[in-house]
Chains A and B, each alone.
Chain A
Amino acid sequence: MIDLLGTHYNYLVFVALVGIGLYGVTASSNLVKKIIGLNIFQVGIFLFFVTSGYVDGAAPPVVGHGSGPYASPLPHVLILTAIVVGVSLTAVALALIVRIYDAYGTLDEEAIREVQLND
Protein backbone atom coordinates (compact mmCIF):
# COMPACT_ATOMS: atom_id res chain seq x y z
CA MET A 1 0.00 0.00 0.00
CA ILE A 2 2.85 2.40 0.89
CA ASP A 3 4.56 2.03 -2.51
CA LEU A 4 1.34 3.18 -4.16
CA LEU A 5 1.73 6.57 -2.45
CA GLY A 6 4.66 7.40 -4.75
CA THR A 7 3.33 6.09 -8.03
CA HIS A 8 -0.47 6.28 -7.72
CA TYR A 9 -0.94 9.31 -5.45
CA ASN A 10 -3.47 11.00 -7.78
CA TYR A 11 -5.65 7.91 -7.81
CA LEU A 12 -5.55 7.70 -4.01
CA VAL A 13 -6.65 11.36 -3.89
CA PHE A 14 -9.45 10.47 -6.33
CA VAL A 15 -10.64 7.74 -3.96
CA ALA A 16 -10.40 10.13 -0.99
CA LEU A 17 -12.40 12.88 -2.77
CA VAL A 18 -15.10 10.44 -3.87
CA GLY A 19 -15.34 9.17 -0.28
CA ILE A 20 -15.51 12.70 1.17
CA GLY A 21 -18.14 13.68 -1.40
CA LEU A 22 -20.30 10.63 -0.69
CA TYR A 23 -20.04 11.31 3.04
CA GLY A 24 -21.16 14.92 2.44
CA VAL A 25 -24.15 13.84 0.36
CA THR A 26 -25.35 11.18 2.80
CA ALA A 27 -24.40 12.60 6.22
CA SER A 28 -25.16 16.34 5.98
CA SER A 29 -28.71 17.23 6.91
CA ASN A 30 -28.35 20.70 5.37
CA LEU A 31 -29.35 20.66 1.69
CA VAL A 32 -26.69 23.21 0.62
CA LYS A 33 -23.97 21.03 2.11
CA LYS A 34 -25.33 18.03 0.23
CA ILE A 35 -24.75 19.96 -3.02
CA ILE A 36 -21.20 20.83 -1.89
CA GLY A 37 -20.64 17.10 -1.32
CA LEU A 38 -21.98 16.34 -4.80
CA ASN A 39 -19.50 18.84 -6.30
CA ILE A 40 -16.57 17.29 -4.40
CA PHE A 41 -17.58 13.81 -5.59
CA GLN A 42 -17.68 15.14 -9.14
CA VAL A 43 -14.22 16.76 -8.95
CA GLY A 44 -12.83 13.44 -7.68
CA ILE A 45 -13.93 11.79 -10.89
CA PHE A 46 -12.49 14.69 -12.94
CA LEU A 47 -9.14 14.05 -11.24
CA PHE A 48 -9.29 10.39 -12.28
CA PHE A 49 -9.88 11.34 -15.93
CA VAL A 50 -7.30 14.13 -16.21
CA THR A 51 -4.65 11.99 -14.46
CA SER A 52 -5.26 9.15 -16.93
CA GLY A 53 -4.25 11.43 -19.82
CA TYR A 54 -1.10 12.76 -18.16
CA VAL A 55 2.38 11.69 -19.28
CA ASP A 56 5.51 12.55 -17.25
CA GLY A 57 7.11 15.75 -18.50
CA ALA A 58 4.33 16.24 -21.05
CA ALA A 59 3.49 19.63 -22.51
CA PRO A 60 -0.12 20.81 -22.67
CA PRO A 61 -1.73 19.59 -25.93
CA VAL A 62 -0.97 22.77 -27.88
CA VAL A 63 0.81 21.53 -31.00
CA GLY A 64 2.76 23.37 -33.66
CA HIS A 65 5.54 24.95 -31.60
CA GLY A 66 7.61 22.33 -29.80
CA SER A 67 7.65 18.59 -30.03
CA GLY A 68 6.01 16.09 -27.70
CA PRO A 69 5.28 14.34 -25.54
CA TYR A 70 1.89 15.94 -25.10
CA ALA A 71 -0.78 15.11 -22.56
CA SER A 72 -3.74 13.32 -24.12
CA PRO A 73 -6.34 15.96 -25.10
CA LEU A 74 -9.30 13.56 -24.87
CA PRO A 75 -9.81 13.53 -21.07
CA HIS A 76 -9.45 17.32 -21.06
CA VAL A 77 -12.27 17.71 -23.59
CA LEU A 78 -14.54 15.35 -21.66
CA ILE A 79 -13.87 17.12 -18.36
CA LEU A 80 -14.39 20.60 -19.85
CA THR A 81 -17.86 19.50 -20.89
CA ALA A 82 -18.48 17.82 -17.54
CA ILE A 83 -17.51 20.98 -15.59
CA VAL A 84 -20.03 23.08 -17.56
CA VAL A 85 -22.78 20.47 -17.18
CA GLY A 86 -21.92 20.18 -13.47
CA VAL A 87 -22.33 23.89 -12.82
CA SER A 88 -25.67 23.83 -14.69
CA LEU A 89 -26.89 21.03 -12.43
CA THR A 90 -25.65 22.91 -9.35
CA ALA A 91 -27.58 25.99 -10.47
CA VAL A 92 -30.83 24.03 -10.88
CA ALA A 93 -30.33 22.27 -7.54
CA LEU A 94 -29.72 25.56 -5.73
CA ALA A 95 -32.80 27.12 -7.37
CA LEU A 96 -34.86 24.19 -6.08
CA ILE A 97 -33.31 24.69 -2.62
CA VAL A 98 -34.40 28.36 -2.62
CA ARG A 99 -37.96 27.25 -3.44
CA ILE A 100 -37.87 24.51 -0.78
CA TYR A 101 -36.85 27.16 1.75
CA ASP A 102 -39.80 29.31 0.63
CA ALA A 103 -42.24 26.45 1.10
CA TYR A 104 -40.92 24.94 4.34
CA GLY A 105 -38.94 27.71 6.00
CA THR A 106 -35.97 25.47 6.63
CA LEU A 107 -33.15 23.72 4.79
CA ASP A 108 -32.75 20.93 7.32
CA GLU A 109 -33.69 17.53 5.93
CA GLU A 110 -35.19 16.28 9.21
CA ALA A 111 -37.23 19.45 9.76
CA ILE A 112 -38.64 19.26 6.20
CA ARG A 113 -39.68 15.64 6.85
CA GLU A 114 -41.45 16.69 10.06
CA VAL A 115 -43.33 19.47 8.25
CA GLN A 116 -44.42 16.97 5.59
CA LEU A 117 -45.66 14.53 8.26
CA ASN A 118 -47.63 17.24 10.05
CA ASP A 119 -49.46 18.35 6.89
Chain B
Amino acid sequence: MTAVSTTLAIVLTFSVLAALAAILLRDVLNAIIAFAAFSFGIAVAWVLLAAPDVALTEAAVGAGITTVLFLVTIAKTVRPSGERLLESVEWRSVAVVVLLVGSLLATVRSLPAVGAADSPVATSRVTEYYLQNAYPETGVENVVTAVLAAYRGFDTLGEATVVIAAGVAVLLVLRQEAYV
Protein backbone atom coordinates (compact mmCIF):
# COMPACT_ATOMS: atom_id res chain seq x y z
CA MET B 1 0.00 0.00 0.00
CA THR B 2 1.57 3.22 -1.10
CA ALA B 3 0.28 6.70 -0.56
CA VAL B 4 1.02 10.06 -2.11
CA SER B 5 3.18 12.18 0.22
CA THR B 6 1.49 15.15 1.85
CA THR B 7 3.97 17.64 0.38
CA LEU B 8 3.29 16.41 -3.14
CA ALA B 9 -0.47 16.52 -2.56
CA ILE B 10 -0.23 20.14 -1.33
CA VAL B 11 1.91 21.20 -4.31
CA LEU B 12 -0.43 19.51 -6.80
CA THR B 13 -3.50 21.04 -5.17
CA PHE B 14 -1.88 24.48 -5.40
CA SER B 15 -1.18 23.85 -9.09
CA VAL B 16 -4.78 22.86 -9.81
CA LEU B 17 -6.06 26.00 -8.05
CA ALA B 18 -3.61 28.18 -10.00
CA ALA B 19 -4.71 26.54 -13.27
CA LEU B 20 -8.34 27.15 -12.35
CA ALA B 21 -7.54 30.80 -11.62
CA ALA B 22 -5.69 31.14 -14.96
CA ILE B 23 -8.79 30.01 -16.82
CA LEU B 24 -11.44 31.80 -14.76
CA LEU B 25 -9.77 35.22 -14.27
CA ARG B 26 -11.16 37.60 -16.88
CA ASP B 27 -8.15 39.91 -17.18
CA VAL B 28 -5.51 38.34 -19.42
CA LEU B 29 -2.55 39.71 -17.42
CA ASN B 30 -4.00 38.15 -14.25
CA ALA B 31 -4.45 34.89 -16.12
CA ILE B 32 -0.81 34.92 -17.27
CA ILE B 33 0.43 35.54 -13.72
CA ALA B 34 -1.74 32.64 -12.47
CA PHE B 35 -0.34 30.48 -15.27
CA ALA B 36 3.24 31.31 -14.21
CA ALA B 37 2.35 30.28 -10.63
CA PHE B 38 0.88 27.07 -12.03
CA SER B 39 4.09 26.29 -13.95
CA PHE B 40 6.13 26.97 -10.82
CA GLY B 41 4.00 24.59 -8.75
CA ILE B 42 4.30 21.89 -11.38
CA ALA B 43 8.10 22.36 -11.51
CA VAL B 44 8.23 21.70 -7.74
CA ALA B 45 6.04 18.63 -8.27
CA TRP B 46 8.58 17.28 -10.79
CA VAL B 47 11.32 17.57 -8.16
CA LEU B 48 9.17 15.61 -5.68
CA LEU B 49 8.53 12.98 -8.37
CA ALA B 50 12.31 12.40 -8.76
CA ALA B 51 12.47 14.10 -12.16
CA PRO B 52 15.00 16.96 -11.71
CA ASP B 53 15.72 17.25 -15.45
CA VAL B 54 12.04 17.80 -16.21
CA ALA B 55 11.83 20.26 -13.28
CA LEU B 56 14.71 22.37 -14.65
CA THR B 57 13.19 22.41 -18.12
CA GLU B 58 9.74 23.25 -16.78
CA ALA B 59 11.09 26.10 -14.64
CA ALA B 60 13.18 27.56 -17.48
CA VAL B 61 10.85 26.90 -20.39
CA GLY B 62 7.37 26.60 -18.87
CA ALA B 63 7.52 29.26 -16.17
CA GLY B 64 10.20 31.35 -17.92
CA ILE B 65 10.07 31.48 -21.71
CA THR B 66 6.35 30.72 -22.10
CA THR B 67 5.39 33.47 -19.63
CA VAL B 68 7.63 35.96 -21.44
CA LEU B 69 6.06 34.98 -24.78
CA PHE B 70 2.56 35.56 -23.36
CA LEU B 71 3.60 38.92 -21.90
CA VAL B 72 5.17 40.05 -25.21
CA THR B 73 1.96 39.03 -26.99
CA ILE B 74 -0.34 41.09 -24.77
CA ALA B 75 2.10 44.00 -24.96
CA LYS B 76 1.81 43.92 -28.76
CA THR B 77 -1.97 43.43 -28.76
CA VAL B 78 -4.80 44.68 -26.64
CA ARG B 79 -5.52 43.81 -23.04
CA PRO B 80 -9.31 43.71 -22.77
CA SER B 81 -10.50 45.87 -19.91
CA GLY B 82 -11.87 43.66 -17.20
CA GLU B 83 -15.05 45.11 -15.79
CA ARG B 84 -15.72 41.81 -14.04
CA LEU B 85 -13.13 39.79 -12.11
CA LEU B 86 -14.16 36.33 -13.34
CA GLU B 87 -15.42 34.94 -16.63
CA SER B 88 -19.05 33.88 -16.85
CA VAL B 89 -19.55 30.12 -17.01
CA GLU B 90 -20.00 28.62 -20.49
CA TRP B 91 -22.40 25.72 -19.92
CA ARG B 92 -21.90 24.01 -23.28
CA SER B 93 -18.16 23.73 -22.55
CA VAL B 94 -18.91 22.44 -19.06
CA ALA B 95 -20.96 19.65 -20.64
CA VAL B 96 -18.05 18.61 -22.89
CA VAL B 97 -15.59 18.78 -19.98
CA VAL B 98 -17.88 16.70 -17.73
CA LEU B 99 -18.04 14.08 -20.49
CA LEU B 100 -14.23 13.90 -20.82
CA VAL B 101 -13.54 14.03 -17.08
CA GLY B 102 -16.18 11.38 -16.42
CA SER B 103 -14.74 8.93 -18.93
CA LEU B 104 -11.17 9.55 -17.68
CA LEU B 105 -12.22 9.09 -14.03
CA ALA B 106 -13.68 5.70 -14.94
CA THR B 107 -10.18 4.55 -15.95
CA VAL B 108 -8.26 5.93 -12.93
CA ARG B 109 -9.16 2.94 -10.75
CA SER B 110 -7.43 0.56 -13.18
CA LEU B 111 -4.10 2.41 -13.01
CA PRO B 112 -1.38 1.20 -10.61
CA ALA B 113 -1.10 3.21 -7.38
CA VAL B 114 1.27 6.19 -7.46
CA GLY B 115 4.78 4.99 -6.62
CA ALA B 116 3.99 1.27 -6.81
CA ALA B 117 7.25 -0.64 -7.28
CA ASP B 118 5.57 -3.25 -9.51
CA SER B 119 4.00 -0.80 -11.95
CA PRO B 120 4.44 -1.70 -15.65
CA VAL B 121 6.71 1.28 -16.35
CA ALA B 122 9.00 0.71 -13.35
CA THR B 123 9.47 -2.98 -14.12
CA SER B 124 9.67 -2.60 -17.90
CA ARG B 125 12.65 -4.31 -19.59
CA VAL B 126 13.57 -1.06 -21.31
CA THR B 127 13.72 0.81 -17.98
CA GLU B 128 15.94 -1.88 -16.47
CA TYR B 129 18.19 -1.97 -19.53
CA TYR B 130 18.77 1.78 -19.46
CA LEU B 131 19.34 1.91 -15.70
CA GLN B 132 21.87 -0.94 -15.79
CA ASN B 133 23.73 -0.20 -19.02
CA ALA B 134 23.54 3.56 -19.56
CA TYR B 135 26.61 4.33 -17.44
CA PRO B 136 28.86 1.46 -18.65
CA GLU B 137 27.93 2.04 -22.30
CA THR B 138 27.91 5.82 -22.55
CA GLY B 139 29.88 7.02 -19.52
CA VAL B 140 27.08 9.46 -18.65
CA GLU B 141 25.84 9.24 -15.06
CA ASN B 142 22.51 10.93 -15.73
CA VAL B 143 20.45 8.27 -17.51
CA VAL B 144 18.00 10.87 -18.87
CA THR B 145 20.89 12.66 -20.60
CA ALA B 146 22.30 9.35 -21.83
CA VAL B 147 18.99 8.37 -23.44
CA LEU B 148 18.36 11.86 -24.83
CA ALA B 149 21.80 12.41 -26.34
CA ALA B 150 23.09 8.89 -27.06
CA TYR B 151 20.44 6.17 -27.38
CA ARG B 152 17.74 8.39 -28.87
CA GLY B 153 20.05 10.98 -30.42
CA PHE B 154 18.19 10.96 -33.73
CA ASP B 155 14.92 11.73 -31.95
CA THR B 156 16.60 14.71 -30.33
CA LEU B 157 17.73 15.80 -33.80
CA GLY B 158 14.06 15.64 -34.81
CA GLU B 159 13.20 17.76 -31.77
CA ALA B 160 15.80 20.34 -32.82
CA THR B 161 14.22 20.34 -36.30
CA VAL B 162 10.85 21.17 -34.75
CA VAL B 163 12.39 24.09 -32.84
CA ILE B 164 14.07 25.41 -36.02
CA ALA B 165 10.82 25.01 -37.97
CA ALA B 166 8.92 26.89 -35.25
CA GLY B 167 11.52 29.69 -35.28
CA VAL B 168 11.29 30.00 -39.06
CA ALA B 169 7.48 29.97 -38.86
CA VAL B 170 7.46 32.76 -36.25
CA LEU B 171 9.79 34.88 -38.41
CA LEU B 172 7.64 34.27 -41.50
CA VAL B 173 4.38 35.10 -39.74
CA LEU B 174 5.79 38.30 -38.23
CA ARG B 175 7.73 39.36 -41.33
CA GLN B 176 6.73 42.97 -40.98
CA GLU B 177 9.33 45.58 -40.30
CA ALA B 178 7.50 46.51 -37.12
CA TYR B 179 8.27 43.15 -35.57
CA VAL B 180 11.58 41.85 -36.96
Contact = CB atoms under 8 A, between A and B. Distances in A.
Given A40-B19, A106-B78, A84 B159 contact: yes
B73 A32 contact: yes
Q: Size class of B's contact patch?
A: 35 or more
Contacts of B58: 83
Interface in B124-180: 124, 126-127, 130-131, 134-135, 141-144, 147-148, 152, 155-156, 159, 162-163, 165-167, 169-170, 173-174, 176, 179
Query: Could you tell me the dominant secondary structure of chain B's interface residues?
Result: helix
A4 B62 contact: no
Contacts of A51: 49, 114
B73 A97 contact: yes
Contact of B77 (A83, A88, A98): A98
Contacts of A19: 97, 100-101, 104
Interface of A: 4, 6-24, 26-28, 30, 32-33, 35-37, 39-40, 43, 46-47, 50-65, 68-77, 79-81, 83-85, 87-92, 94-99, 101-102, 106-108
